[in-house]
Structure 1
Amino acid sequence: MSREQQVVAGARRAFETGRSRCLEHRIRQLQNLQRFLTERRHDIAQALKKDLNKSEVAVQLYDTLGLEEEIGLAVRKLKEWAAPRPVEKNLLTMSDTIYVKAEPLGVILIIGAWNYPWAVTLQPLVGAIAAGNAAVIKPSEVCVHTAQVMDELLPLYLDKELYPVVTGGVAETQELLRQKFDHIFYTGNSSVGKLIMTAAAEHLTRVTLELGGKSPCYIDSKCDISIACRRVAWGKFTNCGQTCIAPDYILCEPALQQRLIQELQKAIKEFYTDDPKTCPDYGRIINQRHFKRIMSMMQDSTIAVGGDNNEEECFIAPTVLRDVKPDAKVMQEEIFGPLLPILTVNSLDDAIQFINKGEKPLALYVFSDNNEVIKKMRDETSSGGLLVNDCLVHFSVTSLPFGGVGNSGMGCYHGKHTFDQLSHLRGCLIRALKMEGMNNMRYPPHTAKKLDWARFFVLKKMNFGWARRLLVLATFVAVVAIVVQKYGMV
């Protein structure tokens, strides 16, 4: 039996003890996870400094702050989320107890990504714990130092049988995928997502796929261009462009292109100084393989800003490309690096047509002060999320479902959405062994009269709120009548 098989079998045995179902156990584990983030903050930051050259402040801002919010929300709301959820009744079920009960799925496989290794690996774990599951955690092997910290330190805080960590590369991941899970949660690219889905199909396992794609950014000429460019530059060059929802390319009218280049250049200088290579807030490409991939994308495009690079240090400066053609190399796949192409279109309709010709993106950004432009872009396109006049920040809103559509993924998470995604929402109906006469309409022999009665009870809609008010009023009148009669007789 392989190590991966042993780990999964151990998690299954731990789940079958039933301890993960206990709400108090779930809350304790979530609080322990919060304690880990607080007490091991320096270890987490040091690992990400080595992996992606992130500063300690950036690690907290982009990786762990949102995690702490998710944990706090889950602890506060868990009893509410786990409670039975009443549903609407019809005339046939008026006297029945009907509700939806969230129950654990079982053993979850969480395969994390390397670009925000704590946020995208542990956020699903928060939901898995809250929903009462066991979870096997597979951090990305690309973030070597972060994976090591996760492997060594997480088991000191969490139930290591219910929430084991498995490290390793492709071979270990493939062995995990051969095991039977009750849900697989994967964050990464669409080509690997297809392999995950194929492996899941073998066991009819549910999947959540958080993928990526080329997220467009349309900038209308009638908006504050300076502010728009500052926000786009922040969204694009944060984490050296290695963000799944980073604006992948800009669409604008030809007359606007030069102004955008000037404002983007100003914002880059403001954020990362004249020499981004020495700026503590500017990261690095994860490894030389990705460095070469990104550099090859610039071969047939014109550099308007930046372009400086150093292969040995995996450094690529924030770079803006101008007059980019739709068939340019940089437009053929998700960039996942600090290159920002600008493509010109003649109108809003042309921009929408261009977006719709490609795969549905994970995010779509619109910068405009015109509500008609915003409404048209919203109604005539499809994307995982839509954000107007900013970038990235919708990821931080726990009440919004975060996820893709089509090629950019399936399923969603964050807050209660993660809890529901990693739960089985079980429909429950509790009925008494009484009022059998009501059931005669469904029993043979079937007649036209029975059908008429069935149509009435199934299709007739009743305002039960009005009925309840009427019942309360009738009860009040009856009580008053009894009191009057009693004291009147005296």
Structure 2
Amino acid sequence: MTDNEYHFLKTLPERQKEELFSMGSPSIEMRKKQLLKLKTILLEREEDLMKALYSDLGKPSFESFSSEIAVLLNEIDYVCKHIATWNRPEGSRHLRLGYVEAFKKKRHPYGSVLIVGSWNYPVQLTLMPAIGAIAGGNFCVIKPSEHAPATAELLKEIINQAFPPEQLYVVTGNAQTASLLTSAPFDLIFFTGSEQTGKAVAAQAAKQLTPVILELGGKNPCIIDETGFSTAAIKEIIWGKFLNAGQTCIAPDTLFVHHSIYEKTLDEISASISAFYGDQPEASGDYGRICTDAHFQKVAAFIGQGHVRHGGAYDRKNRFISPTVLTDIKPGSPILQEEIFGPVLPVIPYTDMRTLLSSGNLQRDALTGYIFSKNKSRIQLFSEYMRSPTISVNQVIQHAASPHIAFGGVGRSGYGAYHGKAGFLAFSYEKTDYQTYHYLRFQGKFPPYSDRNMKALKKVRRWLL
């Protein structure tokens, strides 16, 4: 990085703040205009984006469009439709003892926002928070992941050509660039990535008291009981697990199956994998690849920690790991402790739901939890046990595509939420203009205080609310 580039990045947040201060909060019309410009870019460069995603992740065009581009287009449409309502000021007047108070509450942008994207969905997870930030009236600096270089460079090209840097700017670079940005004077930082890196971002931001939204990961449990088994249910689970070659933060991480349906579930899983990707998934055009060599090495190491029921093949040169199902995993194995984030599915039998929940084998604060069941009491029990902000019943992944549902974590899976209205609220704060109209002044509130004034205060206290 040259001295000029360093100076430019260091001063860009202040330039964006100055731009906001000079113009005031962007009007709803301006925000819509920015969002629709972003929509136009997505539509016009759709093929280029899908080619970049294939280059980085071997992602099939269908998955690229459905899980990256389409959800962004739908989000923009939804936000543009509702943003004026969300941004409408709320006013109120109340009679107090001796005076009337009036206040008007409205949403206000934070200012200059830094968005640090992730490599597994490098278009969606980079631009989805930007939509919320623009809706909230902010200007943004976006740092895509360097681990998806083709997508990062394309985003830099198309965004920086369409927007002035004082409004929206994409910066590419490695971890050193990210560290420089997180230490710059932004008003809010939005980070998507691993728990370890998220802690480092939060620690850096804390030095400047910069608020942070963290979207991390976790071991999302998936339970199927004897009432939830069906071919359709298994297809849903397998689709969600091996979408994007398993590199999805809300993918089912580990499957817990009631012992009475364990063997037929395993058979149905193998049948579904073969139906989706064929007997040679490395030749399938519908199955992706692992993003980096380092991540390939981590995921491939999991395969040796259990009995391979299906799959197990891998090719380091092409970063290919076949859809793999493991059974007979020893307690305490790393695959049961760490987020897998790849195409390896441990399948574990259980006998009783309450015993399973009390075993400590389920991460309660994962991003989400899945249960396939027709038993309402068990569904309720699972929902009450999990701390995750979302619980999905008889379906996987789908909830994350809905702008009606806030997406975010709790505890180890992060904090803060976005999508739809939640994104608008996340990237703005409530600002109140307060005014009073005095008819009587209570002189006793001023020093010097007295016992008499204290007695009077206690008598009128209830009318002060």
TM-score by length of structure 1 reads 0.88
**Using a 3 Å threshold, how does the CA distance of structure 1 residues 20 and 369 change in structure 2: closer, same or farther?**
same
Larger strand proportion of the pair: 2
Task: Tell me the residue number matched to 1:80.
Answer: 85
Task: Tell me the residue number matched to 1:367.
Answer: 372
Task: Tell me the residue number matched to 2:183.
Answer: 178
Task: Tell me the residue number matched to 1:320.
Answer: 325
Q: Which of 448, 456, 480 is matched with 2:455 structurally?
A: 448
Task: Tell me the residue number matched to 1:17.
Answer: 22
Quick check: 2:192–2:215 contact (8 Å CA) kept in 1? Answer: yes
**Using a 3 Å threshold, how does the CA distance of structure 1 residues 322 and 10 change in structure 2: closer, same or farther?**
same
Can you list the C-alpha shifts for 1:116-154, whole angstroms capped at 9, x where unaligned? 111111111011111111111000000010001011111
Task: Tell me the residue number matched to 1:154.
Answer: 159
Aligned equivalents of 1:370, 1:88: Cα separation in 2: 49
Quick check: 1:442–1:454 contact (8 Å CA) kept in 2? Answer: no
Tell me by how many angstroms 1:332 deviates: 2.3
Tell me by how many angstroms 1:425 deviates: 1.1
Tell me by how many angstroms 1:16 deviates: 3.0
Quick check: 2:99–2:439 contact (8 Å CA) kept in 1? Answer: no
Alignment of 1:381-396 (within 5 A): 381-396=386-401
Alignment of 1:40-439 (within 5 A): 40-86=45-91, 91=96, 95-355=100-360, 358=363, 360-432=365-437, 434-437=438-441, 439=442
SS in structure 1 of the partner of residue 318 of structure 2: coil
**Using a 3 Å threshold, how does the CA distance of structure 1 residues 448 and 13 change in structure 2: closer, same or farther?**
closer
Aligned equivalents of 2:368, 2:264: Cα separation in 1: 24
Quick check: 2:406–2:418 contact (8 Å CA) kept in 1? Answer: yes
Residue type at the aligned position of 1:193:
G
Aligned equivalents of 1:147, 1:44: Cα separation in 2: 10
Quick check: 1:100–1:426 contact (8 Å CA) kept in 2? Answer: yes
Quick check: 2:93–2:101 contact (8 Å CA) kept in 1? Answer: no
**Using a 3 Å threshold, how does the CA distance of structure 1 residues 88 and 281 change in structure 2: closer, same or farther?**
farther
Quick check: 2:97–2:463 contact (8 Å CA) kept in 1? Answer: no
**Using a 3 Å threshold, how does the CA distance of structure 1 residues 436 and 92 change in structure 2: closer, same or farther?**
closer
Structure 2 stretches lacking a partner, 5+ long: none
SS in structure 1 of the partner of residue 408 of structure 2: coil
> Percent sequence identity over matched residues?
33
Can you list the C-alpha shifts for 1:445-472, whole angstroms capped at 9, x where unaligned? 51424422222442xxxxxxxxxxxxxx
- Larger CA deviation: 18-27 vs 397-406: 18-27
Aligned length: 456
- Larger CA deviation: 247-256 vs 384-393: 247-256
- RMSD value, Cα: 2.0
Q: Over alpha carbons, which structure has the higher Rg?
A: 1
Tell me by how many angstroms 1:4 deviates: 2.4
Structure 1 stretches lacking a partner, 5+ long: 459-490
Residue type at the aligned position of 1:363:
T
Residue type at the aligned position of 1:435:
Y
Aligned equivalents of 2:426, 2:418: Cα separation in 1: 7
- Larger CA deviation: 354-363 vs 291-300: 354-363
Tell me by how many angstroms 1:312 deviates: 1.1
**Using a 3 Å threshold, how does the CA distance of structure 1 residues 364 and 173 change in structure 2: closer, same or farther?**
same
SS in structure 2 of the partner of residue 298 of structure 1: helix
Quick check: 1:298–1:329 contact (8 Å CA) kept in 2? Answer: no
Quick check: 1:64–1:119 contact (8 Å CA) kept in 2? Answer: yes
- Larger CA deviation: 368-377 vs 18-27: 18-27
